[in-house]
Amino acid sequence: MADYDVIVVGAGPGGIAAAYGLLAKGAKVAIVEENLWGGTCPNRGCDPKKILYSSVEAIENSQFLQNRGLTGEPKVDWPALMAHKREYTSKIPTGTKQGLDSAKIDTFYGHAEFLDDNQLQVGDQVVTATDYIIATGQRPAILPIEGKEYFQTSTDFLDLDELPKSVTFIGAGYVAFELATITNAAGSDVHIIHHNDWPLKEFDQSLVQELVTQMKAKGIKFDFNIDIQSIQKNGNQYIVEDDKDFSLQTDAVFSTAGRIPNIDSLGLENVGVGTLKKGIQVNHRLRTDNAHIYALGDVVARVGNEPKLTPVASFEGRYLANLLTSESNRPIEYPTIPSVVYATPKIARIGVSPTIGKGDPDDYIVKDLDLTNWFSYFRVGEKIAKTRVVLDKQTHTIVGAQALSSTADELINYLTTVINKQETLEEVKKEIFAYPTIASDLPYLF
Ligand SMILES: Cc1cc2nc3c(=O)[nH]c(=O)nc-3n(C[C@H](O)[C@H](O)[C@H](O)COP(=O)(O)OP(=O)(O)OC[C@H]3O[C@@H](n4cnc5c(N)ncnc54)[C@H](O)[C@@H]3O)c2cc1C
Q: Which pairing describes strands 119-122 and 125-134: parallel, antiparallel, or unpaired?
A: antiparallel
351, part of any domain: yes
Instruction: Determine contact, residues 385/374, Cβ cutoff 8 Å.
Output: yes
Residues 25 and 130 in one domain: yes
Provide the pLDDT for residue 326: 87
Q: Hey, CA dihedral for 214, 58, 343, 149, is it positive or negative? A: positive
pLDDT digits (tens, 9 = 90+) for 366-379: 999 999 999 999 99
Got the DSSP string for 135-195? ---EEE-----BTGGG-B-HHHHTT-SS--SEEEEES-SHHHHHHHHHHHHTT-EEEEE-S
pLDDT of amino acid 58: 97
Averaged over 282-298, what is the pLDDT? 98
Residue 79 Cα to chain centre, angstroms: 25
**Residue 327 pLDDT grade (very low, low, confident, very high; cuts 50, 70, 90):** confident
Are residue 42 and residue 61 in the same domain, yes or no? yes
Residue 194 lies in a domain: yes
Domain boundary among 207, 233, 257: 257
* Candidate of 310, 340, 342, 347 to mutate for ligand 1, largest count of ligand atoms within 8 Å of Cβ: 310
Indicate the residue among 241, 257, 273 that finishes a domain. 257
Q: What's the pLDDT tens digit per position in 272-284?
A: 999 999 999 999 9
Q: pLDDT band for 70, please (50, 70, 90 cuts).
A: very high
pLDDT of residue 143: 97
Short-list 285, 317, 286, 282, CA closest to 15: 317
Measured in Å, residue 44 CA sits from the centre of ligand 1 at 8
Nearest CA residue ID for atom 31, ligand 1 = 12
**Which residues form ligand 1's pocket by a CB distance below 6 Å?**
9-15, 32-36, 39-41, 45-46, 49, 111-112, 135-138, 154, 175, 262, 266, 297-298, 308-311, 313
pLDDT at 214: 97
- Within-domain flag for 23: yes
Q: In this structure, is residue 115 part of a structural domain? A: yes
One domain, residues 279 and 349? no
Q: How many domains in the chain?
A: 3
**H-helix or E-strand containing 398?**
strand 398-405
Q: What's the pLDDT tens digit per position in 219-255? A: 999 999 999 999 999 999 999 999 999 999 999 999 9
The model's pLDDT over 104-152, given as tens digits with 9 standing for 90+, comes to: 999 999 999 999 888 999 999 999 999 999 999 999 999 999 999 999 9
Residues 8 and 92 in one domain: yes
In terms of Cα–Cα distance, which of 324, 150, 330, 173 is closest to 257? 173
Same domain, 121 and 171: no
Mean pLDDT of the chain: 97
CATH of the domain at 361: 3.30.390.30
Coil vs helix vs strand at 127: strand
Domain containing 177 equals 148-257
Q: How many other C-beta atoms lie within 10 A of the C-beta of residue 96?
A: 22
Atom of ligand 1 nearest to the CA of 40: 29
Q: Name the pTM for this structure.
A: 0.97
Model confidence at 293: pLDDT above 90: yes
Q: Does a structural domain hold residue 329?
A: no
CATH number assigned to the domain comprising residue 252:
3.50.50.60
